[in-house]
Every structure is written in C-alpha cells, then in structure tokens.
Amino acid sequence: MAAKKKAATFESALEELEQLVERLESGDLPLDEALADFERGVKLTRECQKKLANAEQKVKILMEENGQVQELPFDTDEDLTGDAG
C-alpha cells in the first residue's frame, strides 16, 4: 500500500480543529497532550487560513472583468430577512 499523504479538505481540517478546541476546553488533558493539541490546532488554523485565502483569490480571478475586479455585496442572513440595515 502506497503511503501517499492526502491533503485535508477545509471542512475536515475545521472539524478536527473544533474537536481539538473541545478537548482543550474540557481541561482534563495532561499538559503534554494539551500542548500537542494546541500545536496541532495552530497548524490547522494556518492551513484553514491558507485555504480560505486561496479560495478568495480564485473567486477574485473569476469575478475579474475587463481587467477590473467587480466586487459584489455578499448576501447575509440580514439581507434574506428583508432588513435593510
């Protein structure tokens, strides 16, 4: 079996990060495990930030028109409820 390391998806990295936060918040971990979990959490946070930045860059490229990025408002829940602000 080939030992090829598959890159985690944003969603799987975020899910693992959430689990680490829950473990750390429990306060029941020995110090060594807590530090290892914290270190893993920092790594996952950086990976998620990088994936988000890459996605944002791709969206900007796709939205580019005539050499100019056309920024459009992002619909939020407030927009869906009819609140104008």
Count helices and strands (H / E) in the chain. Answer: 3, 2
Q: In terms of residue numbers, what domain contains 16?
A: 10-65
Is 4 inside any structural domain? no
Amino acid at the residue 17: L
Q: For the whole model, what pTM was predicted?
A: 0.64
Q: How confident is the model over 32-69, as pLDDT tens digits?
A: 999 999 999 999 999 999 999 999 988 888 877 666 76
Buried b (16+ CB within 10 A) or exposed e, 14-50: bebbeebeebbeeeeeeeeebeebeeebeebeebbee
Count how many domains the chain has.
1
Is 72 inside any structural domain? no
CATH of the domain at 25: 1.10.287.1040
The Cα–Cα gap between 22 and 78 comes to: 30
- Whether 2 shows a pLDDT value over 50: the answer reads no
Tokens of 50: 């990088």
- Across the chain, mean pLDDT equals 81
Is 82 inside any structural domain? no
